[in-house]
Amino acid sequence: MVYQPAAGARDLLPLDVAQKRWIEDRLQQVFHRWGYHRIITSTLERMDTLMAGEAIQRQMVIQLQNAQDEELGLRPELTASIARTVVTRMAGATYPQRLYYNANVFRRNWEGKHNRQQEYYQAGVELLGTGGLLANAEVLLLVADCLSALGLRGWHLILGEAGITRSLLSAFPPHLQSKVRQAIAQLDRIAIDTLPLSDELRDRARIMLDLRGNSADVLQQVSSLHLDPEQQAAVNNLKSLVELLESKGDFPLILDLSLIQTIDYYTGIVFEVVSNTEAQAQVLGRGGRYDQLLGLYHPQGENIPGIGFGLNIEDLYQILSTTQQLPQATPASNWLVVPETPSADAAAFAYAQKLRDSTHLVRVEMDLGGRDADAIRQYARDRHIAQIAWIKFDGSPTIETLP
């Protein structure tokens, strides 16, 4: 019998891990430079935590049950877990809190596709306890810094505003709002044309469908929709953010007020990071503002503003693997320490430890016996080990450098 990993799961071999770590290390360095601190939350969550505010679709969650018949689920994303942790474990925290994560998430293969992946890796941040222009700009500029640190080219950021989009949808009859929203999210013009709408509302839906492209054009179009004062204020805030981002000169921005995320807890800006280096655009990450999510977990219902994003490690890997930036081999050991006789074993272990303690990171292997000198040298060449230390009983070494 040949044992295989579970459907939708996969194993990472040493080279896979080295390449994954290359990406994660560079992202972590950026997070540190921006003042973010790592948080690790439980892989398991109570289902009521994940379902709070309909933040997560139930069919996405891989569910479990414990001995107390408590419904549990493997986290399908990190924001809800971090929100729960902050309000229950960090009650006395000073805000803003800058947190980052690097973790696996799980999503059920509920579409019935055979062997579809169900475990993913993400890295991202949550900026909690502050709203407004500067917080929004920080997170979007942080995204750009992350992609720059990876040497990623040919990407753009699609920026929407969930509050504006929901507000514009309020003009439609309540029983049709979800259908209009779905049609806009799927860019389905046929659905718009077939819905029982008045000519005025159908024109409004078509305009909403086309609120995508150059920021100045989109902002002008949305202003033609007879906005109320609150809607106009939200548009003005979005305009200020766009102007701040575009003042950087090279920020690849597409404004898209038809952008509607599948997760419903977003209340302000929403965005997607998209690679356009391939024939088909690929979403590398998503994020947005959620100013009411933490209130769902707070004992007194207190709202704490938040904004964050998550980048998909596998998708970044697929793009970077074509550029030869990722490691092409696992790191070689620096030394192979060989006891020349059994009586030299203790001295060889001592010498190997001395080497390991000598610098910040030196990889030292011990030869574990059972082969002659030629086989030892061949092993070292195969493993790209540059130096062999042959150790005598008294601990004195003979150093051999391999060509």
Q: Which residues contact 164 (CB under 8 A, 6 or more apart)?
A: 222, 231, 234, 235, 238, 257
Q: What is the pLDDT of residue 374?
A: 96
3-state DSSP percent of the chain in helix, strand and coil, to 5: 40, 20, 40
Q: pLDDT class for 14, splitting at 50, 70, 90?
A: very high
List of residues 6+ apart from 66 with CB closer than 8 A: 72
State the pLDDT confidence band at 149, using cuts at 50, 70 and 90. Answer: very high
Q: Where are the beta strands (DSSP E) in 52-96?
A: 62-65, 71-74
| 3 state DSSP class of 356 | helix
Q: Which amino acid is at 193?
A: D
21 alpha carbon, distance to own chain's centre? 14
Q: Which ranges of 129-226 does DSSP label H, i.e. alpha helix?
A: 133-149, 162-169, 174-185, 189-194, 199-209, 215-223
Q: Is 70 exceeded by the pLDDT of residue 114? A: no
Look at 1 and 179; give whichever has higher pLDDT: 179
Q: pLDDT tens-digit profile of 16-39?
A: 999 999 999 999 999 999 999 999
Least confident of 21-30, 185-194, 304-313: 185-194
pLDDT attached to residue 18: 94
CB 107 within 8 A of CB 60: yes
What is the band of 278 on the pLDDT scale with cuts at 50, 70, 90?
A: low
As beta bridge partners, residue 325 has none
Alpha-carbon distance of 157 to 286, in angstroms, equals 9
Mean pLDDT of 102-106: 95
Strands 306-312 and 282-289: what pairing?
Answer: antiparallel
**Range with top average pLDDT, 11-15, 26-30, 44-48:** 26-30
pLDDT digits (tens, 9 = 90+) for 232-247: 888 999 999 999 999 9
| Residues forming a β-bridge with 215 | none
Half-sphere exposure of 397 (CA within 13 A, CB side): 18
**Separation between Cα atoms, residue 84 and residue 66, nearest integer Å:** 20
CATH 3.40.50.800 describes domain 335-401: yes
Query: What's the confidence (pLDDT) of residue 360?
Result: 81
CA distance 306 to 128: 4
Terminal CA-CA length for the chain: 44
Q: Do residues 253 and 142 make contact, with C-beta atoms less than 8 angstroms apart?
A: no
| pLDDT > 70 fraction of the chain, expressed in percent and rounded | 95
Q: Is 1-154+276-331's fold the same as 335-401's?
A: no
Task: Give the number of residues written for the chain.
Answer: 403
What's the pLDDT at 115?
Answer: 59
User: Residue 396 and residue 348: Cα distance in Å, rounded?
Assistant: 9
Most confident of 162-166, 247-251, 370-374: 370-374
pTM of the model: 0.88
Domain spans, the chain: 1-154+276-331, 335-401
Beta strands in 25-154 (DSSP E): 37-38, 44-46, 62-65, 71-74, 97-106, 119-128
Q: Which fold has domain 1-154+276-331?
A: BirA Bifunctional Protein; domain 2 (3.30.930)
The answer, yes or no, to whether residue 64 has pLDDT greater than 90, is no
pLDDT of 112 higher than 60 = no
Tokens (6 digits) for 375: 């086989």
Round to whole Å and give the CA distance between 271 and 269: 7
